[in-house]
Amino acid sequence: MQKFDVLIIGSGLAGQSAALRLAPHYKVAMISKRTLEDSASGWAQGGIAAVLDSQDSIEAHIHDTLVAGAWLNDEKSTRFVVENGRRAIEWLIDQGVPFTKDESGYHLTREGGHSARRVIHVADATGAAVQETLTQKVRNNPNIAIFEHHIAIDLITGTDPENAESRCYGAYVLDSRNGEVITIGAPNTLLATGGAGKVYLYTTNPDTSTGDGIAMAYRAGCRVANMEFIQFHPTCLYHPQAKSFLISEAVRGEGGLLKLPDGTRFMPEHDERAELAPRDIVARAIDFEMKKRGVDCVFLDISHKGEDFILHHFPNIHARCLELGIDITHDPIPVVPAAHYTCGGIISDQRGRTDVAGLYVAGEASCTGLHGANRLASNSLLECLVYSEAAVNDILHGKTIELPTLPPWDDSRVTDADEEVVISHNWDELRRFMWDYVGIVRTTKRLKRAKHRIGLLMREIDEFYANFRVTHDLIELRNLVATADLIVRCAMQRRESRGLHFSRDYPEMASKARNTVIKRRLSARQTRPANA
């Protein structure tokens, strides 16, 4: 067993910012499924929303967040994040993040759903710039042990002898390169594992977004909430060679217009805010127009802003599109909606604590109440920063506990898988029926079909997991199916249409906003140290 003071599972902005804050005080282990550079945070283009301009206000940012979230947001959490926004940005500036400047200082852009310019950015590659800056610091910190190409299998939980409550003591982790399972013990564990976009056939997320933290925490006994609210980004580049390439919200924020193949605008017919409406409205409008007219995509046109403007504001989008033969200074961009952000997740309080003692969560894997029924653009990286700091502060001021002796991983009763093709087939089937049955527009009949299919897959995967040695792909598939089950169960509980959840059977929004919460009943078998 390897022992650390804090175990961080995930290496995006939430995980890395927490590690850097903890490192002066504690010995930290960081688990990364691939490398530190591979995370959804690094893919973020638009920027980070915060009140940085004298013409803006805390109350306006809060109001915009509540409106976008269809009033399901937790107002206390929303205020907590917004009020700490400037300090979070100042911390990034202190770390050396090179935010874009103009003649008046830092350049602020505006995105859909915002009533003011409040999105600070690094051109159109904010996440990559932030990730690069922090990654260099993490790699150079002697108090942070980095485990790249490792994937957490499950959390290790037990009973706290002082108060008989459930407590997390670390995790079992697979080294994907050699198949060895190691035991990492820590009095405090932070889940910073991101969302679950890969549960859908089309997504803007990296391949690492497989709902790992959400599934592990649920299996460990944590409550999970509002998983039905999957944000579909309206504008993912539609091209056979462009896997998961996002066309930033800022393109519409800076004047980009959505058009049909014949060049006609359509957003004014769907919402008075037109292209600046929140993402759920724009995504449904595009989905409606595509199905109504039988077209494969719509088009986002920013060419009227001129070449100099486009090259200054969107150099990376311009370069990527040009590689595919699309010159956005003259041509409209073909786009379709794609799964983008998981608004629900593991329930946490304002200190990042979950239902299991010693287990924290920050970032997209969490459900803090900030996003409600729909995330406001560029609030995600802000939440990562604010809640990771909150979790760090709680860890630093918490009591010190002694780690018990943790049982090693036992694979003595399993064998190597005879047919790995089962995993790839189940993965493909899951993502396709989730896209068809649990997509932008839902019906009760479709949800029931999805639930039935998920039940069959879960039984097959559980049997596979019980009899064969774990692999990277098997762990991800197991977590994806568990996450898909939570999405469907939450969606079936919500008998209304609100935010990102639109049901043809319940098209109206209920008068009172309620969360959908799921709690797992634990058994002794679910805390076993072996996979057989």
Task: Give residue 415's pLDDT.
Answer: 86
| Rounded Cα–Cα distance for residues 532 and 468 (Å) | 8
Residue 523 lies in a domain: no
| Domain of residue 13, CATH code | 3.50.50.60
| Domain of residue 314, CATH code | 3.90.700.10
Vertex 277 angle, CA 332 and 382, to 5°: 100
Based on the fold, state whether residues 223 and 304 are members of the same structural domain: no
Residue 410 lies in a domain: no
Question: Could you tell me the CA-to-CA distances from 143 to 375, 394, 397, 401, 532 in Å, in that order?
Answer: 34, 19, 19, 20, 35
Residue pointed to by tokens 């919402």 = 271
Contact between 453 and 476 under an 8 Å Cβ cutoff? The reply is no
Task: Give residue 249's pLDDT.
Answer: 83
Residue 532 lies in a domain: no
Contact between 337 and 298 under an 8 Å Cβ cutoff? The reply is no
In sequence order, the 6+-apart residues with CB closer than 8 A to the CB of 245 are 204, 236, 237, 239, 320
Residue 176 lies in a domain: yes
Based on the fold, state whether residues 191 and 289 are members of the same structural domain: no
114: amino acid identity, one letter:
H
Based on the fold, state whether residues 287 and 353 are members of the same structural domain: no
Low-confidence ranges of the chain (pLDDT < 50): 524-532
Task: Give residue 366's pLDDT.
Answer: 98
| Rounded Cα–Cα distance for residues 248 and 394 (Å) | 35
Question: Could you tell me the CA-to-CA distances from 350 to 77, 361, 394, 494 in Å, in that order?
Answer: 7, 11, 10, 25
Token pair recorded at residue 112? 């859909």
3-class DSSP assignment, residue 206: coil
Based on the fold, state whether residues 506 and 426 are members of the same structural domain: yes
Token pair recorded at residue 161? 């002898």
Give pTM, 2 decimals.
0.90
Residue pointed to by tokens 């852009």 = 109
Measured torsion, CA atoms of residues 84, 85, 90, 95, in degrees rounded to the nearest 10: 100
Token pair recorded at residue 272? 């008075």
Last residue of a domain, one of 308, 338, 368: 338
Domain count, the chain: 3
* Catalytic position from the list 110, 219, 252, 279: 279
Residue 100 lies in a domain: yes
Based on the fold, state whether residues 201 and 111 are members of the same structural domain: yes
| Rounded Cα–Cα distance for residues 145 and 28 (Å) | 6
CA atoms within 13 A on the CB side of 311: 7
Measured torsion, CA atoms of residues 376, 378, 384, 387, in degrees rounded to the nearest 10: -50
Contact between 333 and 321 under an 8 Å Cβ cutoff? The reply is yes
351: burial class by Cβ within 10 Å (0-12, 13-18, 19+)? middle
3-class DSSP assignment, residue 156: strand
281-307 pLDDT per residue, tens:
899 999 889 989 999 999 999 999 999
| Rounded Cα–Cα distance for residues 449 and 220 (Å) | 27
**Which range of residues forms the domain containing residue 304?**
235-338
Based on the fold, state whether residues 480 and 388 are members of the same structural domain: no
In sequence order, the 6+-apart residues with CB closer than 8 A to the CB of 363 are 10, 12, 13, 14, 15, 41, 192, 193, 194, 380, 383, 384, 387, 388
Q: Give alpha helix (H) positions in 46-106.
A: 58-68, 75-83, 85-95
Based on the fold, state whether residues 58 and 151 are members of the same structural domain: yes
Whether 469 is a known active-site residue: answer no
Contact between 360 and 384 under an 8 Å Cβ cutoff? The reply is no
Residue 407 lies in a domain: no
Buried/exposed code over 160-182 (b: 16+ C-beta within 10 A; e: otherwise): beeeeebbbbbbbbbebeeeebe
Query: Would residue 18 be called left, alpha or beta, if left means φ above 0 and alpha means ψ between -120 and 50 degrees?
Result: alpha
- CB count, 10 Å around CB of 23? 17
361-415 pLDDT per residue, tens:
999 999 999 999 999 989 999 999 999 999 999 999 998 899 999 999 998 888 8
Last residue of a domain, one of 287, 311, 338: 338
| Domain of residue 442, CATH code | 1.20.58.100
